[in-house]
Every structure is written in structure tokens, then in C-alpha cells.
Structure 1
Amino acid sequence: MHTVRQGPAIGLVVQIALLALLTVTVGLSTWGWLAGLAYGVVLCALLNRGMAGARVRVLSPADRVTLGRAILVGGVTALAVHSLDRPAPIVPMVALTAVALALDAVDGYTARRTGTSSALGARFDMEVDSFLVLVLCLVVAPSAGPWVLVIGAMRYLFVAASWVLPWMRGSLPPRYWRKVVAAAQGVLLTVAMAQVLGSVLTLVVLLVSLGLLVESFGRDVRWLWTTRRVHPAAIGVQSGPAERAVRPGLPERAELPAHTARPERTGRLERPGYTGRPAAGRGTLVAGPRGARAAHERPAGAAARDRVVRV
């Protein structure tokens, strides 16, 4: 059983304090309290587990910023459940969401400035943003229609599909447009939740949000399908960021560079469903008389490169 680390424990305490503040200012209902408390407990447990798996005892400065964003998302979650049977407190929900979205750029900047980019931080950042998008969809759905839930569920549907379709578990090349789409989701959904536009314009905003996601996910699915035969898994070798896939038909020892990316967080998601992971091994894979095999070791001290993968 993992020891509860200081960072997650402090996060749970701050989450409870935020719920108490919302109770005093907004009048948070019992169901809202329970939802916010359950979110905080799950957040603490998962973060503690992730830190244990990464052998991290103390959160980095960037991860602390991400934890702050996660706590704000917990407040939005509590208010969303609170508003299921009563009018939604739009002002505090928009305020909490706006601060959480603004901090999305701060954690990436902090990670780069302090040199503390990590796979754990990238995964943590991605999960927080994905869940925020889902919660915002739950808030907007009663007025815009249940179809809006597709926006929030799309990343999770992609993950579920990868459980059934092995070819969807491959790595993806980094793509800047993916970051743009991910950043746009929170902004567009917050505008829709704020109800500052008429019903027609709000519908247009939501359709644009859905269209961007469909295009981005669709392009990635198409890439995974067309490259499924050249992925390292297709030749029976466990893939890793430092490995190279051998394309059938190339001359002996010919190598095809794998799609890799540095583990730096940009403050934005690659997009919901994708994140960086630490290197699983060293060296490259080359084609030889006996098939794929490990080649030379990387130089000592070389920085491990992360790849963009489906999570």
C-alpha cells in the first residue's frame, strides 16, 4: 500500500476548503458537497499512485500549479452537480473555469523555466483538462441538448476504442494543431456556459467545438490506421520512444525514425487522449538477418525523449 504523499494530501485539504468557501458564498447543496469531496478523494488517490509509480516524492513547481488547476476543476464539478435541480451559479462557475484555463499556460511555462518537465506532469495536465471539458459539457447540455456530451466524451470513447482495436494503441507524431484544438475546447465551452451569446450563436460555438474535435480525432485515427503495419508492435517488439520501426521492404539495417517528441509541457494538451510517456528502453531497433534487434546503447546522460501516445 502506497504512503500518502504530502502533495496529494495538501490538495485534498485545499479542495475541502474550497468546498467550504462555496458553501458560504453560493450555498453549495449536499449533493454538490459529496461530488466535490468524492472528486478530491479520487484526485488525491490517483495523484498519489502516479507519484509512487514515477518514484516521485515531491511535486515539482509545475505540478503544483496543475494541482491548483485540478482543485478549481473540483469546485466547478461541485457547482455542476449543485445545479442539476436548480439554476446554475454561472458567475462563480465561469470565474473558476477562467482561472483554471489561464493556469493551463502557467504550468507549462513553469515546467520549461524550471527544467522539471516529466511524463507524470504531462499526464496529470492532460487528465485535468479532459475532465474539465467533460464537466463543462454536463453544464451546457441541459440548455443546448444532450448531443453536447459527445464533445466531453470523445477522448474517453477514443480510449475505449483502443481497448478493442489494437491498431489504435500506436504512437502518434506531434502536431501543433492538436494543441490548438485542445485549447479551444475549454474556451468555447466556457463561452457557451456563460450564456453571453444568443441561442443561435451558442449553437454555432458548440458546433465549431465539435467539428474541431472530429477533425482532430479523425486525422489521428486515419494516421493510426494507415501506419498500423509499420508500428513496432506489428513486428512483435514492445515499442518505446527510443526505438525505431522497421518498414517491411527496406534494405537490411535500414531504419525508419519513430515519431517522438520531447517531454516538455507547453501548458496545453496535445489534445485529450494523448500525452507524453517516459522512455521504456534504450537504443534503436534495426532490421538484420534475425529480424528486429536492439542496437547500440544511447550515450550516458542523454536525455530521454518522450513520444506522443494514446492513453
Structure 2
Amino acid sequence: MPKVQSSPAPSAAWTRPWWWAAGGVAMLAAVGAVAPLTLLAWAAGVAYLVVSSLLMSLGLRRRGETRFGAANAVTASRSALVGVATALVVSAFADGGDTGLLVTIVAVALALDGVDGYVARRTGSVSELGGRFDMEVDAFLLLVLSVHDARFVGWWVLSIGLMRYAFVAAAWLWPFFARTLPYRYWRKVVTAACGVALTVVAAQLLPAVANVVLAAAALALLVESFGRDVLWLVRMNRTSADLVSPENAPAREPRGARDESR
């Protein structure tokens, strides 16, 4: 997982989240020169870049940092690519878009998914904020791809992209859903598999039936992964409730009782 860390070169521009948003806008301009983007597509891509950079900046500030290091720079690069993919998907609903360009950009973003973690481990810079940044970029990419693929396999595929956000929303109703989950490498495997599956569907290289089967398999994997986490949270919540239940509470001494140990 990436980590927020102080940079050895405080003046380096790449250590500032907002520079990565600017880089993403430059990428949008370059892509727009090859595959013209609609105004709405521009708005969607820029909005994602601005919001993601704002959230990262706030996260850094809460931890007393203003810059991030090389591992988070890789994640920020993926985030910029996701911003471009967002614009391409929105544009695709208007004029069909450039499927080859979209698939290429998404493939690069998916390939970089394992690089930030490798860099963080090599530099000993794993952190909670870096891991959260990585996870949210992955989640939004799955949402963007599922929106794109809904035209080919049905709107039910949106459940893949919305599942992470439904999980977060559940924490508002049931606070125990916000409990920190134990690390499981399987989550990364499932996320990567879903990204690859949705990218293959987006490329439209397979027959329609095969696309549906592939998307359904990705959804099944995601349901299994989230289901395991939900069961763990429910079990931990019940265990905590049992520990504080009246039956397990220590007996109270009657008011006015004498302390015989004196």
C-alpha cells in the first residue's frame, strides 16, 4: 500500500496533489486532440480530478503533511488516468467514443495498480492514507467501467461499481460497518479481476453471451469478497455486544455495603 511521506526535495512540484490534477487536465487536452470530447465529458473528467485532489490534500493536511512521496505519486498517476477514462466514458454515450483509446488507458491504469504497493513496500512507507487513496481510485475506476459496460450487458452490471459505495453508505446506518477490517490480499485480487473483466467487456472482443458471463463472474467474485467482510463485521459486532451485555457485566455492590477487605 502507498504511504504519505515527506519528500527529500520540498520544492519538487510532483509532491503536491494539485499538480497531478493539472497533469490530468493536460492529459485530457492531449486525448481530446485525438478523440474530441464533449463538454459534459470535459466537465466529468475535470470534476473527478479536482475532487480527488481536494480529498487527498485534506487527508495530508489532517496528518500534518503537505506532500506525498513516490508510492502515492504512482497512485496519483493512476488517478489522472481514471479522470481521462471518466471523460471518455461520458463522451461515449454521446458519440460512441474511442473504444481502443479507452481500453488502452484503462489497461495502463490497471497495470500500475501493483506498482504503487511495490514501491511502498520497497521504501517501507506503507500507510493507512496511502492504502485508502489506492482503494478509492480502484473503486471509482470500477464504477466508470461498469457504467460504460451497462450498454452491452445490462444495467445490472452497475452493482459492481456501486458495491463499494453501498458498503460505505451502510456505515451511516450501522456504525459497526466502519470498523477497520483485517488485511486480506484476496480483496486486491478480486478488484484486479473485476477491472480486467470489465475492460474485456468494454473492448467488445467477445460474443455478447461471453461478455454477460464474464461480467456475472466478476460480480460473483465481488459479492463473495464483500460478503465475507460483512459476515466478519456482523460477527465482531455481536461479540462486542455480548461482552457488554447485562449478563456479562460485573455485579454491583449494594449501596451502603461495607468493604470487608478493610
Q: Secondary structure at the match of 2:125?
A: coil
| Matching residue of 1:49 | 58
Could you say what the CA RMSD is over the residues aligned between the two structures, in angstroms? 2.5
Give CA deviations for 1:94-123 in whole Å, capped at 9, x if unaligned. 111010011111100000111121111111
* Residues 1:181 and 2:190 aligned together: yes
Structure 2 gaps, min length 5: 1-13, 253-262
Which of 165, 180, 183 is matched with 1:156 structurally?
165
The runs of at least 4 aligned residues of structure 1 exceeding 4 Å deviation read 232-236, 287-290
Q: Secondary structure at the match of 2:146?
A: helix
* Residues 1:226 and 2:235 aligned together: yes
Deviation at 1:224, TM superposition (A): 1.6
| Matching residue of 1:7 | 16
Within 1, Cα distance between the matches of 2:120 and 2:95? 40
Within 1, Cα distance between the matches of 2:79 and 2:105? 11
Name the CA shift for 1:234/1:6 in 2 (closer, same or farther; >3 Å). Answer: farther
Q: Secondary structure at the match of 2:160?
A: helix
Q: TM-score normalized by structure 1?
A: 0.72
8 A contact 2:17–2:67 mirrored in 1? no
- Structure ID, larger Rg: 2
Alignment of 1:102-251 (within 5 A): 102-231=111-240, 235=244
Deviation at 1:166, TM superposition (A): 2.8
Q: Secondary structure at the match of 2:97?
A: coil
Give CA deviations for 1:193-213 in whole Å, capped at 9, x if unaligned. 111111011111000011111
Give CA deviations for 1:259-291 in whole Å, capped at 9, x if unaligned. xxxxxxxxxxxxxxxxxxxxxxxxxxxx9999x
Amino acid in the other structure paired with 1:124? F
Within 2, Cα distance between the matches of 1:130 and 1:234? 35
Within 2, Cα distance between the matches of 1:11 and 1:129? 17
8 A contact 1:170–1:231 mirrored in 2? no
Within 2, Cα distance between the matches of 1:157 and 1:229? 22
- Identity of matched residues, %: 46
Which of 76, 99, 102 is matched with 1:67 structurally?
76
Q: Secondary structure at the match of 1:227?
A: helix
| Count of matched residue pairs | 239
Q: TM-score normalized by structure 2?
A: 0.84
| Matching residue of 2:40 | 31
Deviation at 1:12, TM superposition (A): 1.8
Within 1, Cα distance between the matches of 2:93 and 2:244? 51
Amino acid in the other structure paired with 1:207? A
**More strand per residue: 1 or 2?**
1
Structure 1 gaps, min length 5: 237-247, 250-286, 291-311
Q: Secondary structure at the match of 1:59?
A: coil
Name the CA shift for 1:57/1:234 in 2 (closer, same or farther; >3 Å). Answer: farther
Within 2, Cα distance between the matches of 1:87 and 1:10? 31
